[in-house]
Amino acid sequence: MATDVEIAAMSRALELAAKGPQSRNPQVGAVILSPDGSVLAEGWHRGAGTAHAEVDALTKLGGSAVGATAVVTLEPCNHTGRTGPCAEALLDAGISRVVFAVADPGEHSGGGAAALRAAGVDVEDGVLGDEGRALLDAWLTSRALGRPHVTVKWAQSLDGRAAASDGTSKWITGPAARFDVHRRRAEADAIIVGTGTAIADDPALTARNDDGLFPHQPVPVVIGAREVPADALLRQHPHAPLFYTSHDLTATLVDLLDKGLHRVFVEGGPTLASAFIAAGYADRLLTYVAPTLLGGPRAALTEMGVRTITDQRRLDIESIDRLGDDLLIVSHPRPESESH
């Protein structure tokens, strides 16, 4: 059973993990505790090729931590990649106990806990596991499913319309909601639209704030067979756009993951958003709801395979927040076994 001191250290380790970049590698934090529970060192992973969190912390101790406890957000790895195995580094340092939040699902990187236990180290897992899984949600999804984590976003009126009858949609939501969208774009590796949206709205697909562009920009991705004009704003994006003429979402997502893009943000339009949902590729849904009524045929979502009420796609609500006059509803699909 984890002690109160270890739980507090795990909370701190999660804060440290969040300092690391959101990339193909997981965000990991570590705290080294002395036998009396005082903090000896802290560390976190700063990106591919840099020291893992455990090694970052141990380095500050000169590599020696005899009798200490390592509190880590992710199970110490057990393989050699760009860096050596963290389980071995902990053993070499003399660590006597390891506490971690989330097991590593990797076929090659997992197994660190078993290796530590076999060497006589006391190991406890699952401490603040829910918080750890929330932090690593996108990374865990890509590891488990072999595709990127997908967030599908749309803005709608209170009566579920994405645009007025003539197709105009700027702006349904207010400044606070739009800023939140740009902030979330900046956390993604790629932003996906269909050719219809790319041609009709001519979006820049950048992540912007009042001072200009965010430091991190998602790679623009366009799906569809129609040619996007040479003078389209997205062609001026800091990253070269990726174009997929096939509507095979599975192949597209696998290719994006192969390119190192494991968090994608789907923005539109209704047909593409519905296709991702229908295919079961929407891991998180962001619905921005404006207190306005539009009527007409321009529904925020279209066909997604629901023929009768028993086919409905039930969602679990993660949060509801007010952004200025608008609401943001964050949800995720309920597992099929619980949907009906």
How many residues in the chain? 340
Q: Taking residues 154-178, what's their average pLDDT?
A: 92
pLDDT tier at 109, thresholds 50, 70, 90:
low
CATH number of the domain where residue 172 is located: 3.40.430.10
CATH number of the domain where residue 11 is located: 3.40.140.10
Residue 130 and residue 230 in one domain:
no
Residue 91 and residue 111 in one domain:
yes
Per-chain mean pLDDT for the chain:
91
Residue 261 and residue 233 in one domain:
yes
pLDDT above 80: residue 298: yes
pLDDT digits (tens, 9 = 90+) for 254-278: 999 999 898 999 997 899 999 999 9
Q: Given this model, what pLDDT does residue 78 score?
A: 81
Distance in angstroms (rounded) separating the CA atoms of residues 285 and 281: 11
E strands of 181-298, at which residues? 190-194, 208-209, 212-213, 219-223, 242-244, 263-268, 284-290
In the block, tokens 């990726």 appear at 242
Residue 152 and residue 136 in one domain:
no
pLDDT tier at 251, thresholds 50, 70, 90:
very high
Neighbours of 11 (CB within 10 A): 16
Distance in angstroms (rounded) separating the CA atoms of residues 264 and 190: 5
Residue 231 and residue 99 in one domain:
no
Catalytic residues: 54
pLDDT above 60: residue 292: yes
Residue 175 and residue 322 in one domain:
yes
pLDDT tier at 336, thresholds 50, 70, 90:
low
User: Backbone phi, then psi, for 91, in 5-degree steps?
Assistant: -65, -45
Q: Taking residues 152-165, what's their average pLDDT?
A: 94
For residue 252, give its domain range: 148-338
Residue 155 and residue 268 in one domain:
yes
Cβ neighbours of residue 91 closer than 8 Å, sequence gap 6 or more: 116, 119, 121
Q: 75-89, 140-154, 194-208, 212-226: which range is least confident on average? A: 75-89
Residue 230 and residue 161 in one domain:
yes
Q: Give the domain-ending residue among 93, 120, 141.
A: 141
pLDDT tier at 143, thresholds 50, 70, 90:
confident
Q: Given this model, what pLDDT does residue 253 score?
A: 96
Residue 290 and residue 329 in one domain:
yes
Q: Give the domain-ending residue among 82, 110, 141.
A: 141
Q: Which helix (H) or strand (E) holds 73?
A: strand 69-74
pLDDT digits (tens, 9 = 90+) for 221-232: 999 999 999 999
Residue 30 and residue 160 in one domain:
no
Q: Taking residues 61-80, what's their average pLDDT?
A: 89
pLDDT digits (tens, 9 = 90+) for 170-216: 889 999 999 999 999 998 999 999 998 899 889 999 999 888 998 88
- Report the b/e string of 278-291 with b at 16+ CB within 10 A: beebbbbbbbbbbe
Residue 187 and residue 62 in one domain:
no
Give the number of domains in the chain: 2
Q: Give the domain-ending residue among 95, 118, 141.
A: 141
Q: Which residue has the higher pLDDT, 1 or 253?
A: 253
Residue 47 and residue 96 in one domain:
yes
Q: Given this model, what pLDDT does residue 178 score?
A: 94
